[in-house]
Amino acid sequence: MINFLRKLTFATALVLPIIAISMIVPTMMHGQAISGDLLGVVTDSTGAVVSNATVVATNLGTGVKTTTKTNSGGEYHFVNLPVGHYSLEMTSAGMTGGFKDVTVQLNHQVTANIVAAVSSASTTVEVTAEAPTIDTSTPQIQNTFANQQVQELPTATVGLGVLNLSLLNSGVATSGGIGAGTGPSVSGQRTQQQLHH
């Protein structure tokens, strides 16, 4: 019986660290992302979805093209595009559409729905509308500040710095107090109830 318990303890000593490492590594890898996603739905002028259309995302900085097809619901999805500015071009039988400049940001899903127009051999359709900057694919509220904004905004350089900068996000407010437990309130929660990661 003692021999069995020793073997069980030895096996437990080997298995528990492996389980712990397998739980930690994926969370560490999540922070190493250098890309974002670009998705949307292709419809025609009547609102009907366009399936099996070819959608090409071209990185305006590098010229690299990535191609995908829409599914039966007219949806397309580019996964893990490097951060940058992209042009989108959709082609299908007798139809074209797209955007000239869509910004893919780090760890964001950008939605760019394309309305296709009828094209003919003698005409060229050029879409000049910009993609919406609102991420409609998740309920998450987030903001990205450029380095110049952080340096030039007085709220980021005086006093509590990053806490003051957080007040520029939607859904963030302050009670105006100073001291422990009086930081910003996110989505109406009290400061003691918030989890900061």
pLDDT band at 154 (very low <50, low <70, confident <90, very high): low
If you average pLDDT over every residue of the chain, what do you get? 75
Range 35-118 classified under CATH 2.60.40.1120: yes
pLDDT of the residue at 25 = 58
Helices (H) and strands (E) in the chain, counts: 4, 11
pLDDT band at 59 (very low <50, low <70, confident <90, very high): very high
Check: pTM over 0.75? Answer yes or no.
Answer: no
Domain ranges of the chain: 1-32, 35-118, 141-175
Q: Of 161 and 156, which is predicted with more confidence? A: 161
Each residue's pLDDT tens digit, 102-129: 999 888 899 999 998 887 655 565 665 5
Within a 10 A sphere around the Cβ of 38, how many other Cβ atoms? 26
Give me the long-range contacts of 133-136 (CB less than 8 A, separation at least 24): 133/103, 135/108, 135/109, 135/110, 135/111, 136/111
